[in-house]
Amino acid sequence: MGKLDGKVAVITGGASGIGEATVRLFVKEGARVMMADIQDDKGKSLAKELGAKATYLHTDVTQESDVKAMVDCAVQHFGRLDCLLNNAGAGGPMGPIEDIPTDGFDSTVALLIRGPFLGMKYSAPVMKRQGGGSIINTASIAGVRVVESDHIYSAAKAAVIHLTHSVAMELGESGIRVNCISPGFIATPIFQKAAGLTPEDFAQRLERVRNVLATFQPIRRAGLPEDIALAALWLASDESGFVNGHNLIVDGGLSNGRMWTQFQMEMGPLTEALLGLG
């Protein structure tokens, strides 16, 4: 028996990274899944690989007509909708505030805030008619703590967390749970796009990237897409039936502050200064 037997899920950004890992895990756990993305070749290939339990639909989550069609098609194809994972995303423009282009601000906000808003807007009526469901938004620890020079992405993810809290208070009364997941640094193609690398170049550098990310948090390994997929599985399943309006941080402890060893290194010079030893 799978944890999602009989359930139907829609996962945006489902063709790669965290989305792909979650699609694979949900299908393995018994769900029927519609993956929505703009990466058509990857999406169609994954749907073919996974068979009858998965289907792909080209969806630009910044476009209202696309999101409405996504929800309508999922219901028409599978007969219901039990879980929506608003996962589609990308990094925003980085750098000093005076150098950030306004169109970059607009496109980032459209993708990271408008996308989840539209997903919730159109899935809520379906889930209300069914008497329940689970909506999961992908946020980020950038919405919890400052990530240097990533102003717009951080602000957008903070908005996703607050929007999750707010909508949870409304939809919870209809039996619909609304939660979000805040990943830490996860080894996904988002780094490839930020660095301007081709998929082939990124694949060659992936192990080096993971080795670097392993040094970022107390748990000394890189975060993986599968770590976030497991968190989404729990929030989509009946095991989290009393969890609503929660931001589940999955970051190996990164957002808690400086690591113990780093703090000890910094305290050495301070101790020497206080004791007059330096």
Task: Convert 206-233 to b/e letters by CB count within 10 Å (16 or more is b).
Answer: beebeeebbebbeeeebbbbebbbebbb
**Rounded mean pLDDT of 22-42?**
98
What is the domain extent for residue 47?
8-275
Give CA–CA dist 272/278, Å, rounded.
5
Told to judge if 153 belongs to the known catalytic residues of this protein, a careful annotator would answer: yes
The residue among 184, 223, 179, 206 whose CA lies nearest residue 83 is 179
* pLDDT 10s digits, 149-181: 689 999 999 999 999 999 999 999 999 999 999
Is residue 2 in a domain?
A: no
Note whether residue 40 is domain-resident. yes
Residue 3 is assigned to a structural domain of this protein = no
Note the pLDDT tens digit of each residue in 106-119.
999 999 999 999 99
pLDDT at 26 over 70: yes
Check residues 278 and 59 and name the one with the higher pLDDT: 59
Average model confidence (pLDDT) across the chain: 90
* CA atoms within 13 A of residue 165's CA, in its CB half-sphere: 7
Nearest to 174 by CA among 126, 222, 105, 230: 126
Tens of pLDDT, residues 236-250: 999 999 999 999 999
Asked if pLDDT for residue 192 goes beyond 60, the answer is no
Q: Is residue 198 part of a domain?
A: yes
265 pLDDT tier (thresholds 50, 70, 90) = low
Check whether 185 has a pLDDT greater than 90. no
Is residue 136, in this structure, part of any structural domain at all? yes
- Predicted confidence at residue 210, as pLDDT, reads 76
Among 14-23, 72-81, 268-277, where is mean pLDDT lowest?
Answer: 268-277
Has residue 186 been placed in a domain? yes
The CB density around residue 271, as the number of other CB atoms within 10 Å, is 11
**Annotated active-site residue in 16, 153, 237, 240:** 153
Mean pLDDT of 134-146: 95
| Least confident interval from 194-198, 244-248, 250-254, 261-265 | 194-198
Is 60 exceeded by the pLDDT of residue 122? Answer: yes
**Catalytic residue from among 157, 182, 237, 240:** 157
Please tell me the predicted confidence (pLDDT) of residue 222.
Answer: 86
Query: Which one from 16, 123, 134, 140 is the annotated catalytic residue?
Result: 140
Say what the pLDDT of residue 214 is.
74
pLDDT for 199 equals 67
Active site residue 56: no
Residue 1: inside a domain, yes or no?
no
CATH assignment at residue 24: 3.40.50.720
- 255 labelled catalytic: no
User: Could you give the count of Cα atoms lying within 13 Å of 96 in the half-sphere of its Cβ?
Assistant: 2
Radius of gyration of the chain (CA): 20
- pLDDT at position 224 over 60: yes
| In the block, residue with structure tokens 């306004």 | 102
175, 132 contact by CB (below 8 A): yes
- Say yes or no to pLDDT of 83 above 80: yes
* Domain count along the chain: 1
The candidate with the shortest Cα–Cα distance to 207, out of 187, 191, 227, 190, is 187
